[in-house]
A and B are shown apart, each in its own frame.
Chain A
């Protein structure tokens, strides 16, 4: 992508920069929407000028896609009778039925949005309406009726048996670090499987237009395959597997067809980072995108806005500015300069140093959270490095878990070809390596970030569960000072992304509000991403007791 590819955007609309190749029609809430066969449904909707995809779980605040990488709650819709589908993850097909969820009325006029208005300071759901029994019971009845997001699926799903794989080295993450490590391991003669969750290899470097190492031929490299969990247990009753007495490490992968159950000698984690949305009032509304999302959308041929405010810093943000073009962008502004993101429902302006600047999208980057879940589930240690949580690894990539390696930005380090090759060679030598040597501890936490200025609107710090900064502060004031307790008391990190987007920020905010320094994040529970029950139903084949 070069500057010459720039297009002119109609103001306030996302626009296709490529004509549709294979036209199909989606049925979106009963209306026909043009799409290109196979492109993400979310992309087709954005291109059709739709930014409001649904409503948030608690306050029914407007939501739209934020990450376009299958991490956030922003693009959830009902697709062909299946609820809560991440519409950035499914390819458009002719006649596909796409429906808005969690609204009473329409997405635009959702009567339940009165909740947001009724609780301007946020909702103390622990203590509200507890004075009188009858009122309490009535409140619970109402709360139950409006709970949940999607309706039950229309029909049953057929169960799919998992596929089995055994490899010497499994590399999770097909960015530069993962590719170089996989190639190096293959050169040592190991059988290597490399999986990349997104549809393109190269990770962030690919999005930035930087050169991406070429994958060597012996590596079995698969796109669109994500790691969903890591377990350590004996194989008892596992369909298609010899039973084992000893605990074995199982990595569960998922592709478009179903699950792959993998036994590997070495696990190499190169999962990179996730962007963390800045804690700004109103920044949870549609039209706010991560810089990576903006670049991904451009790869799909779609610009996220006509006049885009940039907030934060970093290479991806710079790249987004370049590709969108200087006429289209404002900023970049420091997150602390921005006191509010305004608009109804999508972004219409941001307030910078007290001045209201009209725009129709906000693109952010800056704080990143290491995508540590796979490494943590494998037994790797995760710690605070002053900016976020990272996986602890030595120079050869060894983590605290024998046979599990980590490299690249998930460890808080930049790409380093020589180091990635060393890690690949080490992984190829197998899991028989001595347990990891003592690792250098990261530096102690630097001074906590200043809390954002008081704003009239809610500052949503956990989008999936509508948890506000105020909620975190209240938990700390009640004496729940550690990250596990605050998670439970507020519910942050318990939604679709399981904390991928918010745990680093919340860790910092808890400390700023007077709580404990979070030395590690809350337990990374499986699965790494939502996993359909039908795909799990044939993992075990022993007879079921009657």
Chain B
């Protein structure tokens, strides 16, 4: 059995592409580049696989968004996720239990109504449901404070880790070299274009570097003097003891940012917004989070009071000033491509974004999207808007 990941001492001297970050975004990009025929693809990561946000998120995959572009992309991402297990030969426990977004104020209700209209216009089966129907979908829900909810039965949850392993194994089959514990310490240029990357294990000459380092992407960009406006913010999650399956959809509440779903193992996995978190690469757990989460969750589902938390952890959101990603080339530096700034939903976007990036770089497809989400919008002031962001 060949190993999925490589020993850093076997790092090659030349590559056609070096992808920085072996999270799902980087691996999806590497896989799709190799699939489209790029010969020598190398992926570097400073830690272990699943050590960043790809291994720390809640596994939600939804097409309920408030902007046309996110709705369109997530429809395609969901389709890839649905086929992932048999295509990549690894179980990702994709389950279409739906997403139920709750609103407890008329403002939030109006916001949901607008999003539902847009989603329906794009062919999604999302609908507005009242409190009584919420209770039919989740009988344990305390619905007295709920004004309205939006429900898309096609949205899903997955187990995040095997997505990473699945992409890694598929990359390996295509000859991609994945190097965990191999930190990027420098990017070399000839003043106009990228020429090589440096690691503690040696240099790799390459004309193309893809920065898919998520919350760490500004640090990577700074190695070549590129300033990115995205910033890391801690987001916390916890998991309870495993219970027999009772909860079908992922339930989310817009005002508090609470969300929770039941994993294939039966644990309730969820998180909540915490406005008090300062910027920074902080992956420590907090008591304040547990307090906010437990209050909101037991308020919505009182029968969960006796259920115990087994484990809490934190990961970093990759927050951009306008809530939209930062992708594509950097003006003035050829061969340095960004694939970052996916807020808290990079995981669900990665299957489609890796595919689009490969086709964009190799065939120029989706140029409009890569122009709209380019870094230069922060210089020109053409910012975007997305309101359905959790956490």
The distance in angstroms between the C-alpha atoms of A531 and B305, with both chains bound, is 10
Q: Tell me if B49 counts as interface (CB < 8 A to partner A).
A: yes
Q: Are A488 and B55 in contact (CB under 8 A)?
A: yes
Contact partners of B286 in chain A: CB under 8 A? 231, 233
Q: How far is the CA of A489 from the CA of B91 in the complex (A)?
A: 12
Inter-subunit contact B309/A145 (CB<8 Å): no
- Whether A127 pairs with B310 at a CB distance below 8 angstroms is no
A150: which of B50, B241, B296 is its contact (CB, 8 Å)?
A: B241
Enumerate B1-52 residues with CB–CB distance to A below 8 Å. Answer: 1, 3-6, 48-51
Q: Which residues on the B side are within 8 Å of A523 (C-beta)?
A: 313
User: Does A118 count as interface, using CB distance less than 8 angstroms?
Assistant: no
In which size bucket is the chain A interface? 35 or more
Q: Complex formed: what's the CA distance from A546 to B299 in Å?
A: 13
Segment of A281-289, A293-301, A447-455, A533-541 engaged in the interface with chain B = A533-541
Stretch at the interface among B82-90, B190-198, B359-367: B82-90
Interface flag for B105 (CB, 8 Å) = yes
**Chain B positions 193 through 230: 1 when the CB is less than 8 Å from some CB of chain A, otherwise 0:** 00000000000000000000000000000000000000
Residue A200 at the chain B interface, CB threshold 8 Å: no
Judge if B188 is at the interface, Cβ distance under 8 Å: no
A144 proximity list for chain B (CB < 8 A) = 95, 245, 264
Q: Known contacts A130-B90, A149-B244, A533-B240: does B1 contact A478 (CB below 8 Å)? A: yes
Answer whether residue A229 sits at the interface, using C-beta atoms and an 8 A cutoff.
yes
- Closest approach, in angstroms, between the C-beta of B363 and any C-beta of chain A? 29
Nearest CB of chain B from residue A100's CB, rounded to whole Å: 13
Please measure, in the bound complex, the distance between the C-alpha atom of A127 and the C-alpha atom of B305, giving whole angstroms.
36
Contacts of B88 in A (CB 8 A): 130
User: Which residue in B91, B255, B297, B311 is a CB contact (below 8 Å) of A127?
Assistant: B91
Within 8 A of B (CB), among A141-168: 143-145, 147-159
Tell me which of B55, B288, B302 contacts A233 (CB under 8 A): B288
Question: Is there contact, CB below 8 Å, between A525 and B285?
Answer: yes
**Does B189 belong to the interface (CB within 8 Å)?**
no
Point out the residue from B241, B256, B310 that lies within 8 Å of A545, measured CB to CB.
B256
- Minimal Cβ-Cβ distance residue in A for B302: A156
Note all chain B residues with C-beta closer than 8 A to A233: 286-288
| Distance from B151 Cβ to chain A, minimum over Cβ atoms (Å) | 20
Bound-state Cα–Cα, A83 to B3, Å: 41
A80 to B86, CA, bound (A): 43
* Beta-carbon nearest neighbor of B94 in chain A: A140
Quick one: given A236-B288, A478-B1, are A157 and B306 in contact (CB under 8 Å)?
A: yes
Q: How far is the CA of A84 from the CA of B307 in the complex (A)?
A: 9
On whether the beta carbons of A126 and B162 are closer than 8 Å, the reply is: yes
Contact A540 B288 (CB under 8 A): yes
B residues less than 8 Å from A229 (CB atoms): 285, 287
When distances are taken between beta carbons in the complex, the residues of chain B under 8 Å from A57 are 242, 265
Q: Is A82's beta carbon under 8 Å from chain B?
A: yes
Give the nearest-CB partner of A530 in chain B.
B308
Closest chain B residue, CB of each to CB of A230? B287
Partner among B91, B145, B181, B244 whose Cβ is within 8 Å of the Cβ of A147? B244
29 contacts between A and B (CB under 8 A): A82-B306, A83-B243, A84-B241, A130-B85, A130-B89, A147-B245, A148-B244, A149-B243, A152-B243, A152-B244, A152-B304, A157-B306, A159-B298, A231-B285, A233-B287, A485-B50, A488-B50, A494-B310, A525-B312, A532-B306, A532-B308, A533-B240, A537-B299, A538-B295, A539-B288, A539-B291, A544-B296, A545-B256, A546-B145
Q: Which 4 A-B pairs rank lowest in CB-CB distance, beginning with the nearest? A: A148-B266, A479-B3, A157-B305, A539-B291
Since A159-B305, A530-B241 are in contact, a sample of 10 more A-B pairs with Cβ atoms closer than 8 Å, ordered by chain A residue number, is: A57-B265, A83-B241, A84-B308, A148-B244, A149-B242, A157-B306, A250-B287, A534-B294, A535-B294, A536-B293
